[in-house]
Amino acid sequence: MTRTTVHTADEGSTRNDVPAIERERQRSECPECGGRIDHDEEHGERTCRECGLVLDADAIDYGPEWRTFEDDDENRRRVGAPTTARRHDKGLSTMIGWSDEDAYGNSISSRKREQLRRLRTWNERFTSKNAAERNLKQAFGELERMASALGLPEPCRETAGVLYRRAVDEDLLPGRSIEAMTTACLYAAARQHGTPRTLVAFASVSRVDKLPVQRAYRYLSSELGLEIEPADPVHYLPQYASELAVSDDAERLAREILEAAKARDLHSGRSPAGLAAAAIYGAARLTNERLTQETIGEETGVSSVTVRNRYRELLEAYEEVAISR
DNA sequence: ACCTTATTCTATCGGAT
DNA sequence: ATCCGGTAGAATAAGGT
């Protein structure tokens, strides 16, 4: 059976119909050096493990839309528009337009207008009929507001929405404010996505104080069993490297330094951003690129004190590994 | 809800390139 | 003259009771 390359949305399409862009994405050797490609779905980046080449960034989300209805990964099908957890109805409910015009812009008969009016009334009653749904509406509004105030990216807001929905499902809300819980969800989501903000920053855009948010977060984290690990310092490298305009060599070296440090457990308890910044500094120094500790600190939000404390440890570990080879 | 602990930050200064 | 490295004390995050 021959399959066309046309990408159809009918339910007969299977994995064999994976479009060209999808196949391209799954290619796993670096065109430069043939090394392995790391896929970082979270940040939408693909980078070469060997030479640090960034193949593309800010790719489209390949996540949930390309899904299966059975419990295996085999029979995947294209489905409709991606759902979003940030709408109280997940973006799936029917909406009836407001204007009394048909699709061509012509006005419609008074009889039809009456019908439409009745439909709208009932539709409204069905879609937001109970208190829970209205609470979700309000909470998601708050999430949007805070996320945009803090400049948090789309996937992060999405995660926050999912978390909040789970919190509601698990009955975590009675006894604490919606505001505190939404803030906590966003805080958790930001950390999961490697775009953390301090609790203070959240408190400043939230309508509640830092303390209730902190409590809500801990409650949320333990009740939902969120295992939020500290971010991998390597994730910060591509971003920092381009902001500081260091060479590809230096970025690759920084990567090696971090690997060596991780092998020796230097990273536990330390801030990932600090480690990444220090690795960049150390690498720039080894490749004779002029970067002051102060410049690094400004761009990365890490103090110069931390940069020098970490970078000494990092280089020490790196040299040991280099000698042993 | 309070307290402890490890880490990071701000401010500062002497010394080196 | 600028950059580096070290230090003291305040602030912060996370965990325990």
pLDDT at A264: 86
Same domain, A152 and A199: yes
Give me the domain span that covers residue A198: 131-223
- Residue A126 within any structural domain of the chain: no
The set of strand B positions with any atom below 7 Å of a protein CB reads: 1, 6-11
Same domain, A306 and A248: yes
- Residue A105 within any structural domain of the chain: no
- Residue A314 within any structural domain of the chain: yes
What is the nearest nucleotide to A191, using C1' and CA? C13
**Contact between residue A237 and residue A280 where contact means Cβ atoms under 8 Å apart:** yes
C-alpha span between A53 and A34 (Å, rounded): 11
Q: Determine which of A238-242, A246-250, A256-260 has the lowest per-residue pLDDT on average.
A: A238-242
- Residue A100 within any structural domain of the chain: no
C-alpha span between A76 and A67 (Å, rounded): 5
Question: Average per-residue pLDDT in chain A?
Answer: 75
A290 CA from B14 C1′ (Å): 23
Candidates A194, A183, A192; CA nearest to A216 is: A183
- Residue A42 within any structural domain of the chain: yes
Mean pLDDT of A193-209: 77
Give the model confidence (pLDDT) of A89-125 as tens digits. 666 666 667 677 777 777 878 888 888 888 877 776 6
- Strand-by-strand arrangement of the A37-40 sheet: A37-40, A45-48, A54-56
Same domain, A198 and A262: no
- Residue A194 within any structural domain of the chain: yes
Q: How confident is the model at residue A309 (pLDDT cuts 50, 70, 90)?
A: very high
- Residue A88 within any structural domain of the chain: no
Same domain, A139 and A198: yes
Same domain, A57 and A135: no
Last residue of a domain, one of A23, A48, A82: A82
Give the model confidence (pLDDT) of A267-294 as tens digits. 888 888 899 999 999 999 999 988 999 9
A197 CA from C12 C1′ (Å): 13
- Strand C close to A226 by CB, under 7 A: no
Mean pLDDT of A72-83: 55
3-state SS class at A29: strand
C-alpha span between A218 and A24 (Å, rounded): 42
Same domain, A209 and A250: no
Last residue of a domain, one of A14, A48, A82: A82
User: What total number of domains does chain A contain?
Assistant: 3
Give the model confidence (pLDDT) of A142-199 as tens digits. 899 988 887 788 888 888 888 888 888 888 887 778 888 898 888 888 877 767 677 7
The set of strand C positions with any atom below 7 Å of a protein CB reads: 2-8, 12-14
pTM of the complete model beyond 0.75: no
- Residue A252 sits in a domain whose CATH number is 1.10.472.10
CA atoms within 13 A on the CB side of A37: 19
C-alpha span between A183 and A323 (Å, rounded): 48
A window 72-101: Cβ near strand C (< 7 A): none
C-alpha A167, offset from chain centre: 19
Mean pLDDT of A39-55: 57
A285 CA from B17 C1′ (Å): 15
A109 CA from C2 C1′ (Å): 80
Same domain, A174 and A255: no
**Contact between residue A297 and residue A304 where contact means Cβ atoms under 8 Å apart:** yes
- Residue A99 within any structural domain of the chain: no
pLDDT at A256: 92
Last residue of a domain, one of A223, A249, A276: A223
Same domain, A252 and A319: yes
Same domain, A148 and A176: yes
Same domain, A237 and A209: no
Same domain, A218 and A237: no
**Contact between residue A51 and residue A254 where contact means Cβ atoms under 8 Å apart:** no
3-state SS class at A42: coil
Mean pLDDT of A201-225: 83
C-alpha A255, offset from chain centre: 22
